[in-house]
Amino acid sequence: MRVPKQDFGGIHTALGRQPGFISVDVIHHADQLPSDYLLLVKFVRALTPASAPTHAPAPKTRLPAFWKSVVLSISLVYPMIVLLDWLLDPIIGGLPTYAQIFVIVVALSTLLTWPIMPCATRLLKGWLDK
């Protein structure tokens, strides 16, 4: 379509009324005829529900009942405290009581974070999810 150069402003105005319009760039190459221009028209693509990218919804994770989490925690924490106290006593027995407790808490927290709690929740998943 041939448009006189003075009408480029009208094209910009007309396109500016369209939804999603960004800009019109007028390009003229020196080796072309003086009347040949390239119009580069930019729009934002409006996403409709049909054209919007689809993502699988995140699976809904259901938390276990509070009392089951408490029972699981107690059944893991208490035996681990007793075991760690027994195992570490020869090493940390000479330390003050608060230092012994600190060492046991660090070891217990580390072991519960991984591997004990993840393994226990995996093994007891059926019971926790009921």
Express each pLDDT in 16-52 by its tens digit: 888 888 888 878 777 767 667 777 888 887 666 666 6
pLDDT at residue number 43: 82
Omega before residue 115 within 30° of 0, cis? yes
- Could you tell me if 80 and 119 lie in one domain? yes
Structure tokens belonging to residue 31: 């080796």
Within a domain: residue 72?
A: yes
Domain that holds residue 28: 5-43
Structure tokens belonging to residue 45: 């693509």
Range 110-127 average pLDDT: 95
Q: Global pTM?
A: 0.53
Range 47-60 average pLDDT: 67
Nearest to 84 by CA among 110, 61, 58: 110
pLDDT 10s digits, 65-111: 999 999 999 999 999 999 999 999 999 999 999 999 999 999 999 99
Domain count for the chain: 2
- Could you tell me if 35 and 82 lie in one domain? no
pLDDT at residue number 7: 65
